[in-house]
């Protein structure tokens, strides 16, 4: 059975990705504890995803999958973007990042609070080209946090068509529509084709 190493130590992200890949008959394993830490210093989501996946693939000599994702707010010119996890500082908590975002959007009217989550997934295979897929999910930034599910900016990311924030969705609901789910659906098509061929 084909093994894929998830090149992440974010337990929330690992759980999401493993759930999204569950029906492919793959063995999904977390990154080994002794694997080298990867500094996410790229200027794009693709650069960071590639660095993580390729580093772990080289270390383990297994296929490695990495996601880099974040929030892009229209009013802020696409920020926080690749700095989403450290928007309020290197060791900022989710609450601190959310507080900074709300402060920057104070008094900004609803029509100008558009945003999207973007996910770029890289699949690195030793000796073969890295594969990239991307997904987005559009919404607006709420004026206050709502909900207790999810992580990161989920309590502020409001979906008008559902009347809920990401943090008010069940994991099953989120996994149908999220940026990561969209990217993963594309990756699953690619994986199914690869796994049915001779190069798996």
Q: Point out the residues that are catalytic.
A: 68
Class of domain 3-195: alpha beta
Residue 81 burial (CB < 10 Å; 0-12/13-18/19+)?
middle
Which residues have a Cβ under 8 Å from the Cβ of 46 and sit 6 or more positions away? 68, 120, 122, 132, 134
Model pTM above 0.85 = yes
Give tens-digit pLDDT for 102-113: 999 999 999 999
Find the mean pLDDT for residues 60-87.
96
Between the CA of residue 111 and those of 61, 79, 105, 140, what are the distances in Å?
A: 48, 17, 12, 9
Its sign, for the CA torsion 112, 44, 23, 154, is negative
> 106-144: per-residue pLDDT in tens?
999 999 999 999 999 999 999 999 999 999 999 999 999
Check whether 57 has a pLDDT greater than 90.
yes
Count CB-CB contacts under 10 A for residue 178: 25
Domain locations in the chain as residue ranges: 3-195
pLDDT confidence band for 198 (50 / 70 / 90): very low
Residues 6+ apart with CB under 8 A from 60: 5, 32, 35
Query: Which stretches of the chain are assigned E, i.e. beta strand?
Result: 3-6, 27-30, 63-73, 114-125, 128-141, 157-159, 164-165
């Amino acid at each position: 059975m084909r093994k894929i190493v998830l090149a992440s130590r974010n337990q929330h992200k690992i759980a999401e990705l493993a759930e999204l890949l569950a029906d492919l008959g793959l063995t999904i394993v977390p990154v080994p504890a002794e694997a080298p830490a990867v500094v996410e210093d790229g200027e794009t989501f693709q650069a960071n995803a590639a660095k993580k996946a390729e580093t772990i693939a080289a270390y383990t000599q297994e296929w490695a999958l990495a996601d880099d994702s974040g929030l892009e707010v229209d009013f802020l010119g696409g920020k926080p973007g690749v700095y989403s996890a450290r928007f309020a500082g290197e060791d900022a908590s989710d609450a601190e990042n959310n507080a900074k975002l709300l402060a920057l959007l104070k008094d900004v009217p609803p029509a100008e609070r558009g945003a999207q989550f973007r996910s770029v997934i890289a699949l690195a295979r030793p000796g073969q080209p890295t594969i990239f897929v991307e997904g987005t999910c559009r919404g607006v930034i709420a004026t206050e946090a709502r909900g207790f599910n999810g992580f990161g900016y989920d309590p502020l990311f409001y979906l008008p068509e559902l009347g809920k924030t990401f943090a008010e969705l069940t994991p099953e609901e989120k996994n149908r529509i999220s940026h990561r789910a969209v990217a993963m659906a594309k990756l699953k098509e690619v994986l199914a084709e690869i796994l049915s061929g001779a190069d798996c």
